[in-house]
Amino acid sequence: MKVSRLALTWLGAAAALIGASLAGPAAADSVEDFYKGRNITLYVGFSAGGGYDTYARTVARYWGNHIPGHPNFVVKNRPGAGSLILANELYNVLPKDGTVVGIFARGMAMEPLLGNKKAKFEARKFDWIGSANNEVSVCVAWHTTPVNTFNDLLTRGMVVGGTGPGADTDIFPKVLNNVIGTKLKLITGYPGGTDVNLAMERGEVEGRCGYSWSSLKSRNADWIEQKKARILVQISLEKHPELAHIPLITEFTRDPDDLKAMEVIFSRQVMGRPFTAPPGIPAERLKALRDGFMATMKDPQFVADTQKQDLEITPVSGEEMSRLVERVYGSSARAIALAQEAVTSESKTQISKKEVSLTTVSGTIAAVEDGGREIQFKVKDKTHKAKVSGSRTKITVGGKDSSRKAIKAGLVCDISYTGDGSEAKDISCK
């Protein structure tokens, strides 16, 4: 039977319409189908208990509610080299299918630009998801240290603690020494910000340069209330409204070249708590992650949770982060060269490496908190604390390998850790 050309045209159009109608719902449901019943692993580039870890775990509790399919988020810590290890693994090793995301140091995106040869990634190719806030960092001095104002850093100086290359705690002291002329000394190699804070309390270091104001408020509010720490300067491009009386770092130079270099370096503050995914994940899944992240920032339960913890939330979208990275990488060669020198030159900074030593004690578990992530234990009637990692802390109960869920109040355990409040390396319970 002959079929006219007109009929063939009509049949082809009808087939196309039918195909489109069938493909539409399938495409729309593909993200939901993919994520339904799945886990998304959220890696944190620092040890448990610090600011990045706190933001990550808080976001993770609600993020899945705003992604089609409602995946479950599992948070894992991957500390090392100021979160450089995680950045390299996200870019080169971890799955690129939308089941893995991460949060690392806000300045990590600028590391290749600033000459860090160990940064094995191209920042512009990361699939940026969003930042929980636009951050302002501070330099703080412990109250027993004879440092009262920023000008004291220009004369006496101060010993500060750091977590590794790429982290603000290590970069900012060098920048301040190179550009402003401070006399900061750096002890680096602490596993995370919590460990630096504990070192301040123990008297190992005198202060910290590169401490997020939001973290200081949420994690160490007693330092402010009891005047245990003095805030010396704000490190950002704009002042925080709550710190109007504290000077901004750009106030200490009028040299236009220095100001341009600091703009390149401190632009990272906009990416205060940067969440990202490996490059090349499917576009529709990236959109779902981004949309879900921004929806989480407005979730009433999330907002209430952050207010309870005194976490600052001033969200920045993934699209904004991508544009920022492009803009910074497009800075003039002169500004980049000056920024590189400020960040990398160690000629004006005395740097030493922290040797982490373990202490093993025998104590009785008094309390288990936050789903087993923190324990309290008594040794000779004195109560101590330790963080417990689900992946790095080796746990045995009754001679058998166990998880942190097996740790219960009343158990007698041998606990190896670096100091009160730090992460336990080994917990062996009878």
Task: Determine the Cα–Cα distance for residues 45 and 193; give it in Å rounded to an integer.
Answer: 11
Task: Determine the Cα–Cα distance for residues 120 and 88; give it in Å rounded to an integer.
Answer: 6
Angle between helices 283-298 and 5-35 (to 10 degrees): 50
Which pTM value belongs to this model?
0.68
Token pair 């009754």 is found at 398
Continuous H helices in 235-394: 256-266, 283-298, 300-309, 318-329, 333-344
Task: Determine the Cα–Cα distance for residues 417 and 3; give it in Å rounded to an integer.
Answer: 83
What's the token pair of residue 8?
Answer: 């063939």
Q: Give the residues across from 212 on adjacent strands.
A: 137
Q: What pLDDT shows up at residue 366?
A: 95
What's phi and psi for 126, nearest 5 deg?
A: -60, 150
Q: Are 346 and 354 in contact (CB under 8 A)?
A: no
pLDDT digit string, tens, across residues 178-189: 999 999 999 998
Task: Determine the Cα–Cα distance for residues 91 and 67; give it in Å rounded to an integer.
Answer: 23
CA angle 307, 388, 104 (to 5 degrees): 60
What's phi and psi for 166, nearest 5 deg?
A: 95, -20
Q: Are 388 and 372 in contact (CB under 8 A)?
A: yes
**In this structure, how many other beta carbons lie within 10 angstroms of the beta carbon of residue 265?**
28
CATH for 139-268+344-353, among 3.40.190.10, 3.40.630.30, 3.40.1160.10, 3.30.70.1380?
A: 3.40.190.10
Half-sphere exposure in the Cβ direction for 261 (13 Å, CA):
22
Q: Which class for 35: exposed (0-12), middle (13-18), buried (19 or more C-beta within 10 A)?
A: buried
Q: What pLDDT shows up at residue 96?
A: 97
Largest alpha-carbon pair distance within the chain?
A: 100
DSSP 216-280: HHHH-HHHHHTT-EEEEEEESSS--GGGTTSPBGGGG---HHHHHHHHHHHGGGGSSSEEEE-TT
- Beta carbons within 8 Å of 120's beta carbon, 6+ residues apart: 88, 91, 92
H/E segment holding residue 368? strand 359-369
Q: What pLDDT shows up at residue 356?
A: 66
Q: CATH homologous superfamily of domain 359-429?
A: Nucleic acid-binding proteins (2.40.50.140)
pLDDT per residue as tens, the chain (430 positions)? 444 444 444 444 444 444 444 444 433 459 999 999 999 999 999 988 888 999 999 999 999 999 999 999 999 999 988 899 999 999 999 999 999 999 999 989 999 998 899 999 999 999 999 999 998 999 999 999 999 999 999 999 999 999 888 788 999 999 999 999 999 999 998 878 888 998 999 999 999 999 999 889 888 999 999 999 999 999 998 899 999 999 999 999 999 999 989 989 998 889 999 999 999 999 999 999 999 999 999 999 999 999 998 899 999 999 999 999 999 999 999 999 999 999 999 999 999 988 766 789 999 999 998 888 889 999 988 898 898 987 778 999 999 999 998 999 999 999 998 777 788 989 999 9
Q: What pLDDT shows up at residue 9?
A: 42
Q: What pLDDT shows up at residue 29?
A: 58
Q: Give the residues across from 426 on adjacent strands.
A: 394, 416
Q: Are 130 and 101 in contact (CB under 8 A)?
A: no
Task: Say whether domain 39-134+271-331 belongs to CATH 3.40.190.150.
Answer: yes
Task: Determine the Cα–Cα distance for residues 264 and 175; give it in Å rounded to an integer.
Answer: 12
pLDDT digit string, tens, across residues 337-351: 999 999 999 999 999
Report the SS3 class of residue 409.
coil
